Structure 1
């Protein structure tokens, strides 16, 4: 017998009510709740990840050369560290550089004449302002130093 809210309920009735009262957990609303739910669903730590990797079947070797699929997919052997890759000639490198520069210049959006005049005038006004500011600060500091040290 279980007592609930002043009522005495038999064990069989209490069990039935518990099944009805248990509802699926609501979908998390906040981002923090979603992260917490995801973290509880996946294995934690490196040890659990290693156990999960052990459960996966190993990749089968290719039947042709005895090489695995990864080696076949790569296409060529890994070069030795002491062996250097052959560089193309100087002319070939200059031609490639010029071709790449030309390709980049085609991507540039060039300003119109009005934009260029506007940009130039803004830069000139800014430079004139900075020159005046530096001259003013220099004048003030010069007067202060001469007043202080005579």
Structure 2
């Protein structure tokens, strides 16, 4: 997967940003198909590699409330690992900063102190303009 862009599947539920975008299946359709658990595991797998693989802006498709709730530890661990890369000057060939900003913003409601700290650490690592804009949106 080195250098590849991973494009996550559209996830079920309500999106925390740009609710009209993406148009993935509604939760009742996913449940009817019996694939909710598989979709959750797919999201968890993408989150777990987000510090190493470019998800592009499609990382924004992951933080639905039910995914954030179920994957809180995976999201924070991915942000922490990514921050270690950025602060050690181990910058990948993709915009890791924006992926970290999206994930830390997703945790702002359930873990506000952690998300605020992560946002400050990320801003101090000079993650790039796109990441700083994402962080500013959630202030």
Short-chain TM bin: under 0.3
TM-score normalised to the size of structure 2?
Answer: 0.19
TM-score normalised to the size of structure 1?
Answer: 0.18
Larger radius of gyration between Structure 1 and Structure 2: 1
Instruction: Considering Cα pairs closer than 8 Å and 6+ residues apart, tell me whether 1 or 2 has the greater RCO.
Output: 2
